[in-house]
Amino acid sequence: MPKLTLYHAAPSRSSITRWMLEEVGEPYDLHLLNLGKGENRSADYLAINPMGKVPALRHGDVVITEAAAICAYLADEFPRAKLNVPIGEPRRGLYLKWLFFGPSCIEPAVLDRAFPRKEEARRAALGYGDFDTVMDVVAEAVVAGPYIMGEQFTAADVVIGSGLRWGMMFKLLPERSEFTAYAARLENRPALQRAESKDK
Ligand SMILES: N[C@@H](CCC(=O)N[C@@H](CS)C(=O)NCC(=O)O)C(=O)O
């Protein structure tokens, strides 16, 4: 079985993928990088991720970067963990939408609010539209629960849940009851608890 190595710094976006690895339950190694010391800018690491960012995951000879892509990859690569919606199932469309919605809508909406532009962009020009619509759409998706795909916990919960938890922690997201209840359900997951205590 090819070895899994996570290039990691905690706390950071690579904690998303550590949670995912704990959900998958396969053994993995950690390669810790000190971002403060600029180890992510070393030539060795830039050869792994030319973006100079964590996370990166090595699986045998394959290197995957981008947190949501790593979560999607792991879910498909280790189907026994039942963290994906397999190709061929109609629900896969919705599952993929949520995997992409994290990095393409939630994160930019939150970061634009944290670091406002000098000139407001037109709603039509922004891929996420506007902050309030993004929040309303996510709130509606998680309110019924327990998870974003209903009864099945998937990689999409790792991505969306991490974004919501991070945003609320830094007071960049409204603490809506839909979000706090969803976050509380996620925080009951042993894999998230393990990832957090190992990161500490
Ligand atoms: N789009 C990337 C973003 C990764 C990212 O921004 N990582 C931050 C840590 S949260 C990082 O490596 N920062 C160090 C730097 O840019 O110098 C992803 O989702 O994986």
**Ligand 1 centroid from CA 131, angstroms:** 22
Average of per-residue pLDDT across 139-168? 97
pLDDT computed for residue 1 by the predictor: 80
Strand 56-59: give its sheet, edge to edge: 29-32, 4-8, 56-59, 62-65
For residue 162 and ligand 1, the question of a CB distance below 6 A is answered with no
The answer to whether residue 155 scores a pLDDT higher than 90 is yes
pLDDT computed for residue 59 by the predictor: 98
Average of per-residue pLDDT across 103-115? 96
Instruction: List the residue whose alpha carbon is closest to atom 20 of ligand 1.
Output: 66
pLDDT computed for residue 191 by the predictor: 98
For residue 23 and ligand 1, the question of a CB distance below 6 A is answered with no
For residue 126 and ligand 1, the question of a CB distance below 6 A is answered with no
Average of per-residue pLDDT across 179-197? 98
pLDDT computed for residue 18 by the predictor: 98
Average of per-residue pLDDT across 78-92? 97
For residue 108 and ligand 1, the question of a CB distance below 6 A is answered with no
pLDDT computed for residue 175 by the predictor: 93
